[in-house]
Structure 1
Amino acid sequence: MKAKAILFASVLLVGCQASNKDASQSASNQNPPSANSLAAAGDLDWLMGPDGQTERELWQVVSEGLEMDIPDNERIREQKEYYLNNKRYLQNVTLRAEPYMYWIISQIKERQLPMELVLLPIVESAFNPHATSSASAAGIWQFIPTTGRYYGLKQDKWYDGRRDVAESTTAALDMLERLNIMFEGDWLQAIAAYNCGEGRVLRAIKENEAKGLPTDYWSLNLPRETQLYVPKLLALTDMVKHNERYALSLPSSNLDRALTRVEVGQQIELAQAAKMSGVPLTKLQTYNAGYKHNVTSPDGPHAIMLPASNAKQLEDSLSSGDINLVNWGEHKVVNGETIEILARRYGITADSIRQANNLTAQVSAGQVITLPISGEYINQIATQQTQIASNSSRSAAKVKYTVRAGDTLSSIAKRYNVKSSDIQSWNKLGKNNKLKPGQSLQLASNATNTKSRSTKSSSAKSSKNNNSSITYRIRKGDSLASIAKRHNVNINDVLKWNSKVTANRLQPGSTLTLYKR
């Protein structure tokens, strides 16, 4: 669907509050927009009464649009009983869902699809854009990666279109329309195929045809989850349509929750967009769940979803040119590095690293993380560290080791407190090379037999124990990288030896303690 312009050429109406299958499965205190102003462009005409002036309740519109027949069978009764026993949950979900529904209903109305489809994300994800299943399905419509890509949802390190409410809704309705055509207008079969895949439903139909059995949804032999999936939707349909009968309390419409989408035109951090628009950062992060690192993707999209009442403030700020360029870089974690060490090395806060990567635990070796600083600076530090390590490696003498029966790379590495990969590198061994008794191996001079357990200490600790420390007075223009390079030590060690030092706290005249190798 091509959205119609509402506030500006670049501002689109979206309903959102807070987060499938393979392609075959193969804030604000400002004045909110009035219903009339939002409907003026035509997107919310369906929300207005016959006089074109009176706003109807959103859930009233939904209730009046529900037309599917609801059979009285055990599967549906069980799902109704579940929802009736969990009314508080259902009330919370419908409150969360309401803002998204403006966007979804607008598409449903334009495509002339069943209103029941607006309830499908309740079954899929409880309308949580951050929802992720055990099968890696994500977003309110629960697309798995392959299906998302099949339906045009971009997914990369920076952005996941499956969590973008506007984009994923378009993709989900595209998929459902396609399935409905495939199953010749049988919406129950199409919805079942959305859950378990069209191939599974087609096979079930063929099996019944071969046995002379009915081929309606209720007669098909489908996975247990799919046998419950359609009844859940139909149970919700009946309860929403007859909410008074079931004493189901549905939230009142609140256009404060209706969002617009502002096209920024370049990469922007959500924190800056929050300041420019007046929307709390936590809310903006929820509205823009598709952005993985709290910054729009370098290659786009660059759209920001936010309450319509804040859109003009953001537009005005953007027009003033008051926007910082974003040039974030990446770092591959190595053994011994922690979030805190990286923060001190690069002169940023540990919390900013956690926020940029949505981290709730410590980083691990081999993990690639985004750092909210210049990529050029990261590369500069990495290059200098590589040179230091290379110089250290070239200057280190080698010791000879003769392989004995039963030896493995792992056992030798453990015995001499080195890495197997280092032994392979020093001796130009391939991954599949087997050791032979009598074979000679070269080990670095700092490889010491671990019968002396004290050698398991870090290089920083070992240097300290040797008491070969020096005091270095910081000069103007010094950086951690330049100091480490000059003294042929590792930046990590400098940070360990000087716990109060960070990359942006080097004061000329102050001193550092360094330990010679």
Structure 2
Amino acid sequence: MSPMKSSFAMALPAVSLAAALLLAGCSGLPVSDEARDEARAPDPVSDEAQLAGPPKPAPGDGTQAERLLSLEDSAPFPDLAVTRHIPVGEAPENNDIWGRVRAGFTMPDYRHHPRVQPHIQWHQCRQDFLHRVTARAEPLLHYILEEIEARELPTELLLLPIVESAYLPFAYSPGRAAGIWQFIPSTGRHFGLKQNWWYDGRRDIHASTQAALDYLQQLNQRFDGDWLLTLAAYNAGQGTVSRAIQRNERLGRPTDYWHLDLPRETRHYVPKLLALQALVENPWAYHVELWPVPDEPYLERVALDGQLDLAVAARLAELDVEDIYQLNPGFNRWATDPEGPHYLLLPADRAERFSEGLAAIDPGERVAWHRHRIQTGETLSHIATRYRTTVAMLQQTNNLRGTNIRAGQHLLVPSATRPSSGYTLSAEQRRSNTQARGPAGRQRHEHVVRQGDSFWALSRRYGVTVAELTRWNGVAPGDPIRPGQRLVVWLPDGERAAEVAAAGPMPASLQHVSTRRQTVTYSVRRGDSLHSIGQRFRVSVADIRRWNNLGNGSLIRPGQRLTLHVDVTNQGSGT
């Protein structure tokens, strides 16, 4: 036996003892955000939700798990998920990407900080989580790492999407944040991420990575190169962090990240990344396992010169349609956006074959075309809905300046080459899949949205919570709903479902309530209490606690933002 093997064998009892002690302590750890995130099912994202980058949650808002609506629990490419194992306790060879990542670490080492240690311990107790996430992220890691290195940024940023989204390309939060970098609509638009019916740049791996790194660099300059403050600002917003610094300056207190009074989520957010830094630096020391990722390009960005049906793209690349969506989650529909971006991310070994095939096909084969004869009573909107396209696309294709059309005329309509079920991860199919899954023992009821409906009013009518209603439909509470939209409600039992069906349309009194109720975000002022806020807005303390997930002993502080559902007809002039 070699001296190395001998010493390792002698150390095994100590390692086993340490592991046993660790496992004994695992039962005392709280259920982590990551564990709840992974338990979520994949969501469909509503059309409106996709028009949204990150309102970061309000101070004191829920955990990361409560923010994420849509998470998958499997690697995007099952054929890649071969068993590759690093024996626990042994240092892996530096022949994969993780050695390169470690070499680029430049952030401070806080592995022994008391706010970092619990997150390290959680991973030690749930070793499967990091293994699953790194396996899922494998196709993206080399591509994103090269973008980080090209800007000479800390390679710890490669781990940030683990904290944000567990590298789930279709992650969507109740705060309307989408994609692996979790941009809300407004921030996404500010950094050039296009969002429309066809495409959401917040989920585009290439575009969102560029935007996230731009945003992080901008924040890092704002906070004089301090990466902990930069990360805090990425999570909570630079205004929140700046105000916390100014408050400490006035009080004569230190202004580093650890001494700032920040929202609860942000107090955990930075330590989570620092825990991942420690685990990736020394996985063998912490007895955790990283998925071995080859240090070689997996993805290549391939240029297109126009709109392309994603089923055609899959055929040319010899991939499943689902694989195309997983690598290009920014596309919402059956085809790429006719206005661009005109590129796809593809496995590097398929890129040349795809480009050759694309050049060889007739331009008319990129999308299917249908000659539609306009029927009496039809509008462009009706026709667009039928063929899963947009009015703007019909106007552009047919050189129409307005929306006036006549029965008997013909329109040239771009259409999908497969039925909608063939585009498994389009927004339509993701929504349908989510709406089909409900709690055991409940009965499915479909509600057609009417003028004046709101999630709050519907929750009151059906006796469910807004959180349940939005989760069942793969949307966020802040998403708009429109007349004619179909929402699924899972009712407690058949008797209740029969009552709802018999009741018919929503009572006019409740419709009136839905239109006069408005959601207000209130910033807590010095001297405020839940009682005084309740009196001011004529709502109960119990409702304020429920709307903001506040426990009975929760304190509120100046600057904290509370969500209130206010009857606007019952407010005084001083509100």
The TM-score normalised by the length of structure 2 is: 0.51
Matches within 5 A, 1:359-398: 359-360=432-433, 361=435, 365=448
Residue pair 2:96, 2:295 contacting (<8 A) in 1 also: no
Q: What is the match of residue 283 of structure 2? A: 243
1:97 aligns with 2:137: yes
Question: Residues 325 and 131 from structure 1, CA distance in 2 versus in 1: closer, same or farther, beyond 3 angstroms?
Answer: same
Deviation of 1:270 (Å) = 1.0
What letter corresponds to residue 102 of structure 2 in structure 1?
S
Deviation of 1:154 (Å) = 0.4
Residue pair 2:322, 2:423 contacting (<8 A) in 1 also: no
1:63 aligns with 2:110: no
Q: Which runs of 5+ in 1 are unaligned?
A: 1-17, 30-53, 340-345, 368-413, 421-430, 432-517
- Counterpart among 134, 148, 153 of residue 113 in structure 1: 153
Matches within 5 A, 1:304-319: 304-319=344-359
What letter corresponds to residue 127 of structure 1 in structure 2?
Y
Matches within 5 A, 1:46-445: 56-71=95-110, 72-254=112-294, 258-322=298-362, 323-326=365-368, 349=419, 351=421, 357-358=428-429, 359-360=432-433, 361=435, 365=448
1-structure distance, mates of 2:56, 2:425: 33
Deviation of 1:208 (Å) = 0.3
Residue pair 1:188, 1:217 contacting (<8 A) in 2 also: yes
What letter corresponds to residue 366 of structure 2 in structure 1?
N
1-structure distance, mates of 2:356, 2:417: 32
- Bigger RCO of structures 1 and 2 (CA < 8 A, at least 6 apart): 2
Deviation of 1:348 (Å) = 8.3
Deviation of 1:269 (Å) = 1.2
Residue pair 1:270, 1:296 contacting (<8 A) in 2 also: yes
Cα shift readout 1:63-117 (whole Å, capped 9, x = no counterpart): 2222322232221011111111111011110112232121221121111111111
- Counterpart among 50, 54, 67 of residue 21 in structure 1: 54
2-structure distance, mates of 1:134, 1:21: 10
**In structure 1, the residue corresponding to 2:285 is in which secondary structure?**
coil
**In structure 1, the residue corresponding to 2:255 is in which secondary structure?**
coil
Residue pair 2:107, 2:227 contacting (<8 A) in 1 also: no
Residue pair 1:130, 1:289 contacting (<8 A) in 2 also: yes
Number of positions where the alignment pairs a residue of Structure 1 with one of Structure 2: 324
Matches within 5 A, 1:452-471: none
Deviation of 1:298 (Å) = 1.4
What letter corresponds to residue 63 of structure 1 in structure 2?
R
Deviation of 1:57 (Å) = 1.4
Residue pair 1:267, 1:295 contacting (<8 A) in 2 also: yes
What letter corresponds to residue 421 of structure 2 in structure 1?
D
Deviation of 1:216 (Å) = 0.2
2-structure distance, mates of 1:85, 1:186: 31
Residue pair 1:277, 1:311 contacting (<8 A) in 2 also: yes
Deviation of 1:351 (Å) = 3.0
Deviation of 1:327 (Å) = 5.6
Deviation of 1:349 (Å) = 4.8
Residue pair 2:116, 2:272 contacting (<8 A) in 1 also: yes
**In structure 1, the residue corresponding to 2:115 is in which secondary structure?**
helix
Residue pair 1:159, 1:290 contacting (<8 A) in 2 also: yes
Question: Residues 194 and 264 from structure 1, CA distance in 2 versus in 1: closer, same or farther, beyond 3 angstroms?
Answer: same
Q: What is the match of residue 489 of structure 1? A: none
What letter corresponds to residue 54 of structure 2 in structure 1?
K
Residue pair 2:308, 2:366 contacting (<8 A) in 1 also: yes
2-structure distance, mates of 1:227, 1:355: 35
What letter corresponds to residue 324 of structure 1 in structure 2?
R
Give the aligned CA root-mean-square deviation in angstroms. 3.9
Q: Which runs of 5+ in 2 are unaligned?
A: 1-41, 44-52, 59-76, 80-92, 373-379, 389-415, 437-445, 451-501, 508-514, 516-575
What letter corresponds to residue 214 of structure 2 in structure 1?
D
Cα shift readout 1:251-285 (whole Å, capped 9, x = no counterpart): 22337871112112111111111111101221111
Residue pair 1:130, 1:138 contacting (<8 A) in 2 also: yes
Residue pair 2:177, 2:185 contacting (<8 A) in 1 also: yes
What letter corresponds to residue 351 of structure 1 in structure 2?
S
The TM-score normalised by the length of structure 1 is: 0.56
2-structure distance, mates of 1:250, 1:150: 35
2-structure distance, mates of 1:119, 1:159: 26
Residue pair 2:139, 2:298 contacting (<8 A) in 1 also: yes
1-structure distance, mates of 2:358, 2:331: 20
**In structure 2, the residue corresponding to 1:244 is in which secondary structure?**
helix
Cα shift readout 1:119-142 (whole Å, capped 9, x = no counterpart): 100000001110011101000000
1-structure distance, mates of 2:353, 2:302: 11
2-structure distance, mates of 1:24, 1:283: 32
Residue pair 1:28, 1:279 contacting (<8 A) in 2 also: no
Question: Residues 179 and 355 from structure 1, CA distance in 2 versus in 1: closer, same or farther, beyond 3 angstroms?
Answer: closer
Deviation of 1:314 (Å) = 1.0
Q: What is the match of residue 9 of structure 2? A: none
Deviation of 1:183 (Å) = 0.5
Question: Residues 232 and 28 from structure 1, CA distance in 2 versus in 1: closer, same or farther, beyond 3 angstroms?
Answer: closer
1-structure distance, mates of 2:417, 2:366: 19
Deviation of 1:301 (Å) = 1.3
Residue pair 1:267, 1:326 contacting (<8 A) in 2 also: no
What letter corresponds to residue 120 of structure 1 in structure 2?
L
Question: Residues 190 and 327 from structure 1, CA distance in 2 versus in 1: closer, same or farther, beyond 3 angstroms?
Answer: farther
